[in-house]
Structure 1
């Protein structure tokens, strides 16, 4: 390239970045995915509105090969992310319904699309009918998993049955659709028969899943050892990605299939932090530069100025087949599995999203000359319409009040569990504090049978969410950590888990408590608790002493019964002495209760609990927070937050607080 061409390329890239960010932000403001604005940005630069006036000035002929190269790099990075985001845990427990919905949502538009393709072939002088028919049918059948997942996450539907089924069905749909497209591409490039290189696909997949996947698991260990994603780890991933793309390219397939497969074999278990950091790194270059370049390259091929009355008929039929085929197929698959009519409609609406995934597929068809420029242009319009209609149509079919009701029912089913005593643990983000809160709750329910111990986490919406992520990373990480904590509870009570995205943790916690109706809520200091909660609420401030030496019940004028009950349960659980520290009027009122505790084998002595020995836990009413709060503390701690000193009456104790309604 000449120096002038380099300068022209750099200027064009600057225009692409600014236009893509501006229109992406505008799309977000009107409730649409940013990708809609970015696709429209590409179309604006193309010949549809201004002819070649803008495109020729920004991207003359000697610049376009470099532009196409950057677009292909952005394309393989995006397809790597699509494969990486697929998670088999999304399908777990929903296999039958997900497969049924996916097959329905593929077969109906595939069949209708193939029939439409036979009609279009005669109008567009298509000579190779088979690949054209198969390709158009496959393009009609695709669902954009990233866009669908973002809609599900933004609307809080992840933990509902509709959201779970949509994610599972879209994951299965992606695997089937990309496999089908691989066959179509092989047929389209075979000149009458399958090329010999395609025979290498099966051994390629075997090698990737059987040998490459275990090797990639070592990257999780390397990342954990370094404490972050190092340049070396990222270099290994990017090099492996490019090699995988090269191998599928020389097999006669497109490089995007190698990218998809490499993303699919990336480690999931224990690799949530690695996945999040990879997406963060890729976003810095992919979303800001490479994907907008891809949109522009695609937009240069879209020419809506040539759409006349005859082409409008074709566009109308394309929209009809794409929307109705996908909706009817998904709806029928859901209803056959006894999914409610409204929920099935919401599921079918979500499966109709196509977004960037559709543009990727259409670009492949155009590159391979399977479709012409006019059909490409009309199919891009179809992708925009089906993606833009998903949000508003979902709001009409499945309004937020019904979605909120389904969320509450799902949480109620998870939290209520078996009959008997129910405890809810609000799990903090920090691993050590989470374990301490769980240990405390386990100790408090140890003597109660039957008992259900439920774990919940309120996942805050990211302040700056990843644009190429689908919103599931934080939720998947939360569910993985909650499941690991549930295993820590051992063979004791049942341990269901619940996670919820939250923009108002205090109110959302109150909703969860109202839904589950627990007898006990245990949380850590600093977690939401502003809204009054029912039942007994315990807030842990410091780690529990190990081993516990003594439990001190510091009884005041308020909530003495709740304080003594909590202290006695802990003393019994840890098999240590209970020290009752009470003023004479309170001690006289509780003398019968203390006598009953001794009768049940608990060692109880009366006396002052100031200071306490190492390993002492102090339970006391929190006078600064009102009568509904009780405090637990490690009496042997050397230092304590100054704000907790007035609550305990002792300056050198760290604490846990307990709300008792």
Structure 2
């Protein structure tokens, strides 16, 4: 027991260290974790200390823990299998997926036939050939998803198409692998008939178990949290499903995958998110690193000779060439541009976690020998490590930024309406006063449109169990729900309102891009939002800022006070905003700031506006020209392209509508 605990300490420390090093080098952590296992195994440290620490008596308990981690991982893969990824891209995604699967699969089968005599016996030839084809055709959806989200490419057409294609490839790969494992299991002398139960098992899972699991959603909503009882039911079902497929001589990973696939989707975003959060603590920190390190421990590069290097070269040529050519050719048949087709092919060439899972199954089922397993693991590392640099070379950051801007402009469209973009800070549910103020400003012009923009930093400690997309999409769905509620209140007041929300790796850096892409006539920014200074001082907006603090008296529910404007500098933009709010809220207007302020008050009074030159009372909502200092409140920035002309106050007053509901 003491040696097992020591092994756990060493494995965890090595996994975290090399995983962090891989991330620092811009690679997925799984690469570092597998390399850690290779270094701890017979390749490097085995002759020194590895045989004592990770000898034959220690491998079974380590492998058992690794298998539990594999069960959790495959459950998450099934849980994150979302048909929304393919929606709207079905024809192209299926075509690219078929090209990316069929070509490397056929080439892998041809290669397997050429080397079968050196690695397998006659009774294993068929499953070996099919297995090599499946291994060559795999694409690691989780690693691909993380590569895309780290660069923000999931927001552009290319990224969405890559995710959709990889999702289809995932289904094809697991289906082929299930057939291969079933054929291999049928060759066993005992219990061959059990494999025939695989199809009835799948039907029961989707027709019986899936409706039963849907009852978890109302139970979760009633409890308002993931109770130990609910989590226990999920884990019991997961482990039971994994046991059932293992008993059928298929493999326990398929039971875990299918159980994740039949978990409820409709209205279950928060439930699934909490399940993943609970699993993360155990799976990410202990069991998954254990799985990848154990996978590396089974690699022995010391025994490779020149003939092995030749086989490795052939494997790399088939794996990389088959993926790139198959994906590229399929993309071109769908009229994708040349650069996008190559970038898509490079993205689908990543194998990572999925490949290691497939290879582990092959080793456990005796389809692969130790030498070929080691060579295939090297192929998985090479194809995964080359993806990021190759895609960055083919599709550099400037093209990604351009595509993101074009996507946002296309989403917002071109309109002749007076457009106001308001950046909604977190939490959106508490920003009703801000949106109400913006809607009031929009109602002063007709036609007008309000765009609720929201940039949210990526969640801290993002999930690494699978792609991590379920966690992020759950949070984004909750945010969109709150934003749509705000948009609904604006629409009730007669203002056309749209919502633009996304996660951002750099909120301050992307805010100017969002402001420019929206092409708004007015930008409303709460003070303290990251990137405010860059927008104010940059070319997007001129340095004319209106400061609108909401008084404490109004927040406490007392009678709203007047609108006050500091007009000492003669700032027409500030005066126009103050006049708009005063008229639409049916409040008096107070002007302060010296002789120019008095003159403005007299002029407005002649136009029928209740305006007086006086000191600002405490309960007033103050509008003032900002000199660049940031304080608590709301700031409105006027775009450079539309600098305001001197205000025609008579026209401004006559254009104002009837009083709107008070803020």
Return the TM-score normalized by structure 1. 0.84
What is the aligned partner in structure 2 of residue 406 from structure 1?
A: 403
Q: Distance in 1 between matches of 2:181 and 2:562?
A: 71
| Structure 2 residue 240 is the aligned partner of structure 1 residue 243 | yes
Q: Which moved more, 1:170-179 or 1:8-17?
A: 170-179
Aligned pairs for 1:347-496 within 5 A: 347-468=344-465, 470=467, 472=469, 473-474=471-472, 477-478=475-476, 481-482=479-480, 485-486=483-484, 488-490=486-488, 492-496=495-499
Contact 1:20–1:292 under 8 Å retained in 2: yes
> Residue deviations 1:377-420, cap 9 Å, x none?
11111101100111111121111222222222223333454332
Match of 1:527 among 515, 526, 529: 529
Q: Distance in 2 between matches of 1:341 and 1:57?
A: 54
Contact 1:414–1:496 under 8 Å retained in 2: no
Q: Which moved more, 1:244-253 or 1:536-545?
A: 536-545
Q: Which moved more, 1:459-468 or 1:146-155?
A: 459-468
Per the TM alignment, residue 34 of structure 1 is displaced from its structure 2 partner at its CA by: 1.3
What is the aligned partner in structure 1 of residue 175 from structure 2?
A: 179
Aligned pairs for 1:220-369 within 5 A: 220-221=220-221, 225-226=224-225, 229-268=226-265, 272-369=269-366
Match of 2:56 among 51, 54, 61: 61
Give the 3 Å change call, closer, same or farther, for CA 478–125 of structure 1 in structure 2. Answer: closer
Return the TM-score normalized by structure 2. 0.84
What is the aligned partner in structure 2 of residue 113 from structure 1?
A: 108
Contact 1:451–1:493 under 8 Å retained in 2: yes
What is the aligned partner in structure 1 of residue 89 from structure 2?
A: 94
Q: Which moved more, 1:524-533 or 1:390-399?
A: 524-533
Contact 1:331–1:345 under 8 Å retained in 2: yes
Give the 3 Å change call, closer, same or farther, for CA 511–125 of structure 1 in structure 2. Answer: closer
Per the TM alignment, residue 26 of structure 1 is displaced from its structure 2 partner at its CA by: 1.9
Give the 3 Å change call, closer, same or farther, for CA 43–235 of structure 1 in structure 2. Answer: same
Per the TM alignment, residue 242 of structure 1 is displaced from its structure 2 partner at its CA by: 1.4
State the SS of the aligned residue for 2:154. Answer: coil
Contact 1:553–1:563 under 8 Å retained in 2: no
Give the 3 Å change call, closer, same or farther, for CA 133–216 of structure 1 in structure 2. Answer: farther
What is the aligned partner in structure 2 of residue 561 from structure 1?
A: 572
Q: Distance in 2 between matches of 1:548 and 1:246?
A: 67
| Structure 2 residue 212 is the aligned partner of structure 1 residue 217 | no
| Structure 2 residue 145 is the aligned partner of structure 1 residue 152 | no
Q: Distance in 2 between matches of 1:374 and 1:485?
A: 55
State the SS of the aligned residue for 2:420. Answer: strand
> Residue deviations 1:404-456, cap 9 Å, x none?
22222223333454332222121222133344433332332235444343232
What is the aligned partner in structure 1 of residue 133 from structure 2?
A: 137
Q: Distance in 2 between matches of 1:42 and 1:397?
A: 32
Per the TM alignment, residue 102 of structure 1 is displaced from its structure 2 partner at its CA by: 1.7
Give the 3 Å change call, closer, same or farther, for CA 73–620 of structure 1 in structure 2. Answer: same
Q: Distance in 1 between matches of 2:376 and 2:228?
A: 40
Please, which runs of 5 or more residues in structure 2 have no aligned partner? Answer: 640-663
Give the 3 Å change call, closer, same or farther, for CA 212–558 of structure 1 in structure 2. Answer: farther
RMSD value, Cα: 3.2
Give the 3 Å change call, closer, same or farther, for CA 281–308 of structure 1 in structure 2. Answer: same
Give the 3 Å change call, closer, same or farther, for CA 216–131 of structure 1 in structure 2. Answer: farther
Q: Distance in 1 between matches of 2:250 and 2:433?
A: 53
State the SS of the aligned residue for 1:554. Answer: strand
Q: Distance in 1 between matches of 2:335 and 2:622?
A: 51
State the SS of the aligned residue for 1:530. Answer: helix
Q: Distance in 2 between matches of 1:312 and 1:131?
A: 24
Q: Distance in 2 between matches of 1:284 and 1:486?
A: 32
Per the TM alignment, residue 245 of structure 1 is displaced from its structure 2 partner at its CA by: 1.6
What is the aligned partner in structure 2 of residue 636 from structure 1?
A: none
Contact 1:331–1:344 under 8 Å retained in 2: yes
Q: Distance in 2 between matches of 1:251 and 1:570?
A: 72
Per the TM alignment, residue 237 of structure 1 is displaced from its structure 2 partner at its CA by: 2.9
> Residue deviations 1:550-607, cap 9 Å, x none?
6514242246432333234445555x334343455324236556655x5xxxx64546
Aligned pairs for 1:640-655 within 5 A: none
State the SS of the aligned residue for 1:49. Answer: coil
| Structure 2 residue 549 is the aligned partner of structure 1 residue 552 | no
Q: Distance in 2 between matches of 1:559 and 1:116?
A: 80
Per the TM alignment, residue 36 of structure 1 is displaced from its structure 2 partner at its CA by: 0.6
| Structure 2 residue 500 is the aligned partner of structure 1 residue 497 | yes
What is the aligned partner in structure 2 of residue 26 from structure 1?
A: 21
Contact 2:120–2:367 under 8 Å retained in 1: no
Q: Distance in 1 between matches of 2:549 and 2:29?
A: 42
Give the 3 Å change call, closer, same or farther, for CA 204–523 of structure 1 in structure 2. Answer: farther
Q: Which moved more, 1:336-345 or 1:411-420?
A: 411-420
Contact 1:455–1:482 under 8 Å retained in 2: no
What is the aligned partner in structure 2 of residue 634 from structure 1?
A: none
Q: Distance in 2 between matches of 1:178 and 1:190?
A: 18
| Structure 2 residue 598 is the aligned partner of structure 1 residue 581 | no
